[in-house]
């Protein structure tokens, strides 16, 4: 049996700093309890973000969010 060796990276990984933004998407509901109406909160927060980024009112943001979800399978994919 060949000896084990430590895996090597092709590059040096960057350490996250205070100025880094991390987006974590829980697409299979393993990180939260979806029975607690989390999706209503996610929808609301996504609409808030769209309102801010695109200067839309709530109805326009909700319509765009729903369109992106239907068209791309995820609002974030449309953004």
How many domains does the structure of the chain reveal? Answer: 1
Per-residue pLDDT of the chain (79 residues; tens, 9 = 90+): 676 777 666 666 666 666 777 788 877 777 777 776 778 888 899 999 999 999 999 999 999 999 998 999 888 888 8
d(CA 64, CA 46): 10
pTM, entire model: 0.56
Q: What are phi and psi of 38, to 5 degrees?
A: -65, -35
Confidence (pLDDT) at 68:
93
CA separation, residue 57 to residues 6, 51, 63 (Å): 54, 6, 10
* Structure token pair of residue 50: 């769209």
Confidence (pLDDT) at 8:
67
* Structure token pair of residue 60: 């326009």
Confidence (pLDDT) at 30:
79
Domain span holding position 52: 38-77
Closest CA to 46 of 22, 19, 29, 68: 68
């Amino acid at each position: 049996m060949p000896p084990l060796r430590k895996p090597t990276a092709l590059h040096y990984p960057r350490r996250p700093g205070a100025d880094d933004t991390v987006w974590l998407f829980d697409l299979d509901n393993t990180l939260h309890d979806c029975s607690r109406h989390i999706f209503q909160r996610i929808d609301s927060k996504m609409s808030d973000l769209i309102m801010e980024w695109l200067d839309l009112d709530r109805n326009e943001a909700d319509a765009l969010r729903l369109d992106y979800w239907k068209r791309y399978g995820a609002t974030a994919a449309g953004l």
